Amino acid sequence: MFYQEKRKGNRYLRKAVYIAATTAIQNNEYFKNYYMKLRTRGKSHTVAMLAVVGKLLRIIYSLVKNGKKYDPNYHYKLQNQELRVHGNYTAKKLKREIVT
């Protein structure tokens, strides 16, 4: 039996989103960092690209659903907030371990 590709959805839309993800990696630091993070973890180019495509689609869906405009600084604010929460927790946890 021959290998069948299991691609679903409109092929033109898939290509358009893939091209948009390529452009996002080249021009947006957030997506570039996300792509490079996956590549340094040993993921192939295709796997990393499809992860960026998925992330881009989730962002687009969220913007359309909530009727908001894209804010390029939103993800940096979110990352900094997560670092503050997790960073402080880790630092406090390490201090407790050192003391005890």
Q: What is the DSSP letter of 46?
A: H
What is residue 75's three-state secondary structure?
helix
Same domain, 16 and 49: yes
- Per the listing, tokens 């687009």 go with 60
- Domain membership of residue 3 (yes or no) is no
User: Rounded to whole angstroms, how far apart are CA atoms 31 and 23?
Assistant: 9
Q: Which residue range(s) make up the domain with 24? A: 9-68
pLDDT at 77: 74
Structural domain count of the chain: 2
Q: What is the pTM of this model?
A: 0.70
- Domain membership of residue 1 (yes or no) is no
- Domain membership of residue 2 (yes or no) is no
pLDDT by residue (tens digit) across 18-27? 999 999 999 9
Each of the 100 residues of the chain gets a pLDDT tens digit; together they read: 444 556 788 889 989 999 999 999 999 888 999 999 999 999 999 999 999 999 999 999 999 999 999 887 887 777 666 556 555 544 444 444 444 4
Same domain, 51 and 75: no
